[in-house]
Amino acid sequence: MNSTTAAFSDLANAIRALSMDAVQSANSGHPGMPMGMADVATVLYSEFLKFDPSAPDWADRDRFVLSAGHGSMLAYALLHLTGYAEPTIEDIRNFRQLGSPCAGHPENFLLDGVECTTGPLGQGLAMAVGMAIAERHLNAKFGDDLVDHRTWVVAGDGCLMEGINHEAIGLAGHLKLSRLNVLWDDNTITIDGTTALSTSEDIAARYEATGWHVTRCDGHDPEDIRRALAEARDSDRPSLVACRTIIGKGAPNKQGTSGVHGSPLGPDEIALAREQLGWEYPPFEIPQHIAAGWRMMGERGKETRLAWEKRLNADSDARAAFENGTSSGSDLAGPAVEHLIAELAREPQKVATRKASEMALGVLTEAIPNMIGGSADLTGSNNTKTKATDPLTADNYGGRYIYYGIREFGMAAAMNGMALHGGIIPYGGTFLIFSDYCRNAVRLSALQQAQVTYVFTHDSIGLGEDGPTHQPVEQVMSLRLIPNLNVYRPCDAIETAECWALAIASPKTPAALCLTRQNLPQMRGEGDADWSASSNRSAKGAYRLKAAENTRKVILLATGSEVHLASEVAAKLEAEGIGADVISMPCWELFEEQDDAYKADLLPNVSPDEILRVSIEAGVTLGWERYTMANGLNIGLDRFGASGPAEDLFEKFGFTVDAIVPQIMNKIK
């Protein structure tokens, strides 16, 4: 230990005391895990973790992930005790109260030192896999002098039971991520009671079977913990350390039971715990000699951090390369696609938007070297690999393309981890229908403001013969429900390039690109030969693609593959003397950010008797009412699809000019 003034037990008991006091004060929370893992955390922070509270964003710090996020007081106690500016003791007094950064589960956007938002079990560990990938990739680029750190995870039984755990550890084992260490709080307790109620698997054997190194320790014996953590640190494989602990250790009547998992101990039990632990101090009071011992741990990494900064600053060219090679890419995306869009304007192409995405990615990955792509075993279908992205493997961490295997959820969480680690701009593909498999990680991308781009192809019944199990109907609309997620459904090759540029240029807002399998005619080109980022029409979220020629009686709103159909419908209406605007609406979220004047120009506030608003999208109609109003017309698909060629399906389900125009005429009359 670095402290000569406080016993190890006193240092660990400071975590226990803060945890039980905060939970009791809030009358809500989970004291059992932080009390049980206090000894492991004390060894980790005092001897193994590389960090500096005075520079919480230091690029070469170790990452500490509390995957068992319900035990958030463990993280808050550690941050406070080691000297981070926040949380203060007052923040901890207000644990789980409105306005306190000590939320019920750790939120990365509230506190420095919280590397990722955790709570949905298993995702913290899976994000840590992405962090470990990022470390190995950046190490391959910049060497040990600038990138040489580890990722440490505290996980509980729930994290290891969740299905995402299987996906995550399989990927980590395959990539031999030796800098990843998972400390399993092996306390044999879940909310319902003992783990014997629900599982009898050999967890160690499962991890070993996926290529992990596994060791065990007594989670309350500092020497044994130290041995196990050193063994994990020195392994050439990712490591699982099974830390056998007693949940709620120190609470004499409740420790070792599910009763201490998610409920306050109560004043009587806390008084007994203080007596058993020998903790004689009032609630929220840390005596000076114990506080000093913890602050010494926090000071331990400063010299290492300063030495790192000295190496970084020793060579201005090397520093520039490091900073440029780990940037968000937001300033590079627009210029990267300029030439591509100019070429498309001169020579239009009828391609699927998944192919158009590949074209955009080709220039983006060339211009932005820290973009790392991948696919959940659908590379040839998602079109996510480019000439600039060689495979990232256990033998070549310098590669920029990850074969994730059939692990959609694991891929999404790993991408979150890469983005949160910093220095990496991840994107990954799967079919849009499988966005449901990874939805909770997509939600965490948005919640954490992570720069992640999801490439969701085969976006409608247009995928054809695979049938209704693979044909997304509600997925685009359901993704639009997620706050801080930009959902793009581009109509052609130019819009696709524009949407890609916008996705990369928005580092705090993740993106979902919903792309077609079937070829689409190019709708844009006129006026785009001199395209620049400042003239990106998709940046408005919606724009007038075609203005009415006759007196405007109809506004057609469409996305993706239906924009071309809307243009054909407009042409038929114009032939009947009915003026029709065509509005391409690639991104609802960006349209909602526009001012009232712009919105009113596209969608005048007049009654449907004057101008009928019509939405056309090959998906559920629910939600379009916000733009078409109560008496508008919504053309969509409020049922599951069918198996057959795409063109037959569009005809069957009414996505044709001959099916739509009569509905509009009847509505107008």
Active-site residues, by number, are 408
DSSP three-state, residue 266 = coil
**Token pair belonging to 52:** 């500096």
| Residue 442, C-beta contacts closer than 8 angstroms, at least 6 positions apart | 412, 435, 454, 479, 482, 485, 510, 512
| Residue 626, C-beta contacts closer than 8 angstroms, at least 6 positions apart | none
Closest CA to 44 of 225, 205, 253, 191: 225
- Number of continuous H segments (helices) and E segments (strands) in the chain: 27, 18
**Residues forming a β-bridge with 487:** 512
Taking a C-beta distance cutoff of 8 angstroms, is the pair 502, 595 a contact? no
Closest CA to 68 of 190, 176, 240: 190
Taking a C-beta distance cutoff of 8 angstroms, is the pair 55, 299 a contact? no
CB atoms within 10 A of CB 461: 29
DSSP assignments along 391-417, one per residue: BPBTTBTT--EEE--S-HHHHHHHHHH
Taking a C-beta distance cutoff of 8 angstroms, is the pair 384, 455 a contact? yes
**In terms of DSSP bridges, do strands 180-186 and 213-218 run parallel, antiparallel, or are they unpaired?**
unpaired
Q: CA 7 to CA 392: how far, in whole Å?
A: 46
**CA torsion through residues 72, 242, 396, 146, sign:** positive
Q: CA 126 to CA 103: how far, in whole Å?
A: 21
Q: CA 105 to CA 464: how far, in whole Å?
A: 43
Query: Which amino acid makes up residue 556?
Result: L
